[in-house]
Amino acid sequence: MKCFKDLSCVCNRYGLYFSNMMKFGDHRICSNCLKALQLSVYRKQHVRKKWTSTAVRQSFIDFFCQNHDHKVIKSSSIIPTKNQGTYFTNAGMNQFKPIFLDTIDKSHPMSELRRAVNSQKCVRVGGKHNDLEDVGKDLFHHTFFEMLGNWSFGDYFKMEACSMALELLTTVYKIPINRLYFTYFGGDEGQGLVADMETRDIWLSLGVSDDRVLPFGMKDNFWDMGDSGPCGPCTEIHYDYIGGPNSVRLVNTGLPEVLEIWNLVFMQYNRRTDGTLEPLNRVHVDTGMGLERMLAVMNNTSSTYNTDLFIPMFNAIQKSCNIRGYGGKTDDPIDTAYRIVADHTRMASVCIADGLLPGTRDQGHKLRSVLFRCFHQSKRMLQMPHGLVPSLVDVVVQSLGEAFPELQEHRLKIKDVISDSEDHYEKVFRIGVKAFDKCLSSNKDTASRHLTDKILMDIVDGKYSDGYGIPSEMLPHLGEIYSVSLDIQGLQQIVEQHQSKEQVEKTEKVYLSPETVKEIVGMGITPTDDSFKYTYQYHSKDNMYDFPQGMKAVVSAIVKDDHLFSEAVGKDEFGILLNKTMFYGECGGQIADKGCIKTNNGFFYVRDVQIVNKYVLHIGNMESGSISVGDSVFLHIYEDHRLGCMKNHTATHILNGCLRKIYDNVRQEGSRVSPHKFSFDFSTTSQMKQEDLTTLQDNVQQIINSGLIICRGLQPLDQALQISNIITMANEEYPSHVYTVSIGRGCSEFSTELCGGTHVTNTKDIESFCITSASMSPLGIKRMTCLSGTQAKKAIENGFILEKYLQEFEAMIKSEAQTDTWLDRVKHINKIQQVLLEVNSSRPVAVVSTRDKNLSIVVCLNENIELDDGFEAELKSVDSDVKLKKKVKKNCTFLIITLKRKALEKSVAICEKLQSVFS
Ligand SMILES: [Zn+2]
């Protein structure tokens, strides 16, 4: 509306010539602008009282809940459960997917849901397009946002959905209807889809004038979940910031003057795998309204940052940095930094509250990248003092804590994690600067101030920083400081190649897609009764567990590559579905049973067991003969494998309980139970100290020795959650009825967890326990790797032997009398190496508690002997023991360093100690 200022006769906004300029106050303006101006005055007077984010959110929820009988559903975690199939929760519908796909368990509390409303926490970072780099540069992108939504699951459809939407917008939010545009699906001949005239007519019948109802194609107005599954047309509601007849041309152009504010999806088709569409029996409505965008509309600003979700953060930053305030410009680096720091702190807070921690993989890696980017901007652009970003968490909690209580609950933890990350960032930054210096001086000849992907990979691998790798997300920041261009894309490709190579072994293969499950259900095949996995008994007489070996079952289906077969034959991998089984399917961190399925003429080796929608799939291959659908078969599990898992699983629970007694806010993040060892991941707000490990080890052993009884119970979820001190897993989806596992009864009750695993019946059966490694990175999840049973015994023994040998060796070196020859020393070192090698290959690693004692002996030995020049070079050329003996000439240092590097470094995790030298 600049035209009234320059008094020309050309209206700037529309670029049109107006002869009839009018007077408005002291100015002459065109008629269009007059209209807009009058409207804005009207708006200021009537409609636009300041709307807070809380008011926008709550009005939405109240409207659907109170006026239209919707059930308020809590936002699901930002970290999706395994079967939701996305990286981060990125839309409101993620948690309802099983309802749309019709794969939801009938006992699930949500299976009866008809109408729902909520505000869903969403994160969009990474994926194919790296939009992270865009956040902060414009005025409306975010890594974290809220999606308001209402749903109908086989309940109301288009008419009700549209009329409720219009009612909310015009009566609650009080938006004039002439500021809204409505789009509908205009059909697609190529796909054989007719236009959604029904929706068009509905809008007209609700009083929308026909020049405001516009058709668009597949891209804008047809929604699908993927290549197959539920899909359908959608109708979008757009808000017009300008007003006036010319805005119609701006709908769906991506220009900020006319913005989409609400999308209503009507799921009415199912797309089959061959691409054809069939009508759905039950139709659904899924809608999404971005809270931040709606809030901006309600405050008549086109920037989502000019709202109460961000302004308090900007104020807090300004106050502590003593810099100028946020100016809202897009081409201003300070304003950009303001937006990045505020947005990223919100995202990190929400993720950490949901249990995510910065790390090197998957979502944890994304979180770390976001945090690093936040620190970079806060330090380099805003000169924010160290420790200020964590304090912004309070502002986030103030703004979002009411809607998402988990933020309040974990406020201290969030601050701790961000603070740890900041320390980590500083440390890595210092090392990175040195690495860049070194790298640039040693690559002078390339001189073009460009670092290729290969050079970057070297930096990442730690070539320029004594083996201390620089995380790739640090590189752009360093590149900026050194003004060098970096081939980040090339590096990305190399990293991805590495990862995909790793993932080939790791990816979870889809054995049964939802479609095949549907087919199986359609054939009348009932889910597998796998309750027999719990049918085992302890016989004190022979000190043995008795499993139902040879159990009889019937083959109900055979699958290969997600297709149904009538017979399993040949060397290919098959999945056999049985009517009942005693095999344990991988679940809750405990790996599956192994074993075999036998018939009179077939032997099937079961290498893995997976449970898909209560169907238990025995995966493996025919060793001989064949097995067909309908065959009667006999089942055998490998008992040692199962028993090892049982001991380790119970030991996991004991460790979990003991951790909670010495640390605050312990949260189990995962576990992996195999027959040979188990690992336990957890987070805590307490500092983990070396001496805790010995205490923990002793406490667990004490529980084992006290012979507590272990009981399994089955009860409704709500009832189980009432149990005091019940231990549940973060981000785990529990069914309506759950198993509980209690250790100890009555007054000697030690712990109760929700758990469907298999356990020993008495803690005594675990015999022995030890911790073999504990990663105590201040970032990321803390992980303990542990052993139980005979493996633990052997590891503890190894630790003592090693200690003894090392002490002998120490005495030998220190003795003034040079009676021993270097050959004696070599012999002794060989003895030590023998233990270490044995430990390193199949045998358990030495126990943490003795490891440190041993390590200190080695360090002490090292200090007693002077280093020889040129020794490092010599060391590199030595790679076998034979050569070693030839090369060694009374050089004790050599021996010790070799010992340290070659054996200890790997098996005794000396790396940790070495790395701390850098800090
Ligand atoms: Zn468990």
Rounded CA-CA distance 880/837 in Å is: 13
| 514-637 placed in CATH 1.10.357.10 | no
Nearest in space to 672 (alpha carbons), one of 539, 545, 825, 784: 784
pLDDT the model gives residue 486:
84
Of the pLDDT bands very low, low, confident and very high (cuts 50, 70, 90), residue 857 is low
User: Is pLDDT larger for residue 280 or for residue 875?
Assistant: 280
Ion ligand 1: residues, CB within 5 A, are 755, 757
pLDDT at 823 over 70: no
What is the amino acid identity at position 345?
T
Between the CA of 643 and the centroid of ligand 1 the distance, in Å, is: 15
pLDDT at 838 over 80: no
Of the pLDDT bands very low, low, confident and very high (cuts 50, 70, 90), residue 33 is low
Residue 122 marked as a ligand binder: no
Secondary structure E strands in 103-205: 115-123, 144-153, 180-185
Sign of the Cα pseudo-torsion (41, 46, 47, 49, in order): positive
Cβ-proximal residues to 693 (8 Å cutoff; 6+ apart), any chain:
771, 774, 848, 849
Q: Tell me the average pLDDT across 835-843.
A: 50
Between the CA of 653 and the centroid of ligand 1 the distance, in Å, is: 6
Between the CA of 752 and the centroid of ligand 1 the distance, in Å, is: 10
Of the pLDDT bands very low, low, confident and very high (cuts 50, 70, 90), residue 534 is very high
Secondary structure class of 916 (helix, strand, coil): helix
Between the CA of 529 and the centroid of ligand 1 the distance, in Å, is: 20
Mean pLDDT, the chain, whole residue set: 81
Q: Tell me the average pLDDT across 569-590.
A: 92
pLDDT at 16 over 70: no
Between the CA of 65 and the centroid of ligand 1 the distance, in Å, is: 38
Give me the residue label for tokens 């269009």.
Answer: 32
Q: Tell me the average pLDDT across 654-660.
A: 94
Helices 690-705 and 848-864 cross at an angle (nearest 10°) of 150
pLDDT the model gives residue 89:
86
pLDDT at 631 over 90: yes
Nearest in space to 753 (alpha carbons), one of 768, 736, 734, 767: 734
What percentage of the chain has pLDDT greater than the value 70?
Answer: 78
pLDDT the model gives residue 35:
56
User: Is pLDDT larger for residue 102 or for residue 392?
Assistant: 392
pLDDT tens digits, 177-200: 999 999 999 999 888 889 999 999
pLDDT the model gives residue 848:
59
Residue 641 marked as a ligand binder: no
pLDDT the model gives residue 1:
41
Residue 477 marked as a ligand binder: no
Paired strand residues for 574: 620
Between the CA of 227 and the centroid of ligand 1 the distance, in Å, is: 37
pLDDT the model gives residue 488:
80
The two three-digit tokens of residue 298, written as one number: 């309600």
Between the CA of 656 and the centroid of ligand 1 the distance, in Å, is: 10
pLDDT the model gives residue 904:
41
In words, the CATH class of domain 53-298 is alpha beta
Rounded CA-CA distance 710/724 in Å is: 18
Q: Are 277 and 287 in contact (CB under 8 A)?
A: no
Three-state secondary structure along 225-279?
A: CCCCEEEEEEEEEEEECCCCHHHHHHCCCCCCCEEEEEEEEEEEEEECCCCCEEE
The region of weakest confidence among 166-170, 447-451, 888-892 is: 888-892
Strand (E) or helix (H) holding 746: none
Between the CA of 710 and the centroid of ligand 1 the distance, in Å, is: 12
Between the CA of 589 and the centroid of ligand 1 the distance, in Å, is: 8
pLDDT the model gives residue 815:
66
The two three-digit tokens of residue 55, written as one number: 């008011």
Q: Tell me the average pLDDT across 711-722.
A: 85
The region of weakest confidence among 118-132, 608-622, 647-661 is: 118-132
What is the amino acid identity at position 78?
I
pLDDT the model gives residue 494:
76
Sign of the Cα pseudo-torsion (9, 13, 16, 18, in order): negative
pLDDT at 296 over 50: yes
Residue 424 marked as a ligand binder: no
Q: Tell me the average pLDDT across 39-62.
A: 74
pLDDT tens digits, 110-163: 888 999 999 999 998 865 545 677 788 888 889 999 999 999 999 999 999 999
DSSP string, 869-915: TTHHHHHHH--SHHHHHHH-SS-HHHHHHHIIIIIIHHHS-THHHHH
pLDDT at 321 over 50: yes
pLDDT the model gives residue 646:
95
pLDDT tens digits, 442-462: 876 655 678 888 888 888 877
Between the CA of 578 and the centroid of ligand 1 the distance, in Å, is: 25
Between the CA of 744 and the centroid of ligand 1 the distance, in Å, is: 15
Q: Are 105 and 614 in contact (CB under 8 A)?
A: yes
Residue 127 CA to its chain's centroid (Å):
13
pLDDT the model gives residue 715:
85
Rounded CA-CA distance 744/763 in Å is: 9
User: Is pLDDT larger for residue 81 or for residue 606?
Assistant: 606
CATH code of domain 643-791: 3.30.980.10
pLDDT the model gives residue 205:
95
pLDDT tens digits, 762-808: 999 999 998 887 765 544 568 888 889 988 888 788 777 777 877 77
Domain boundaries, the chain: 3-47, 53-298, 311-506, 514-637, 643-791, 801-916
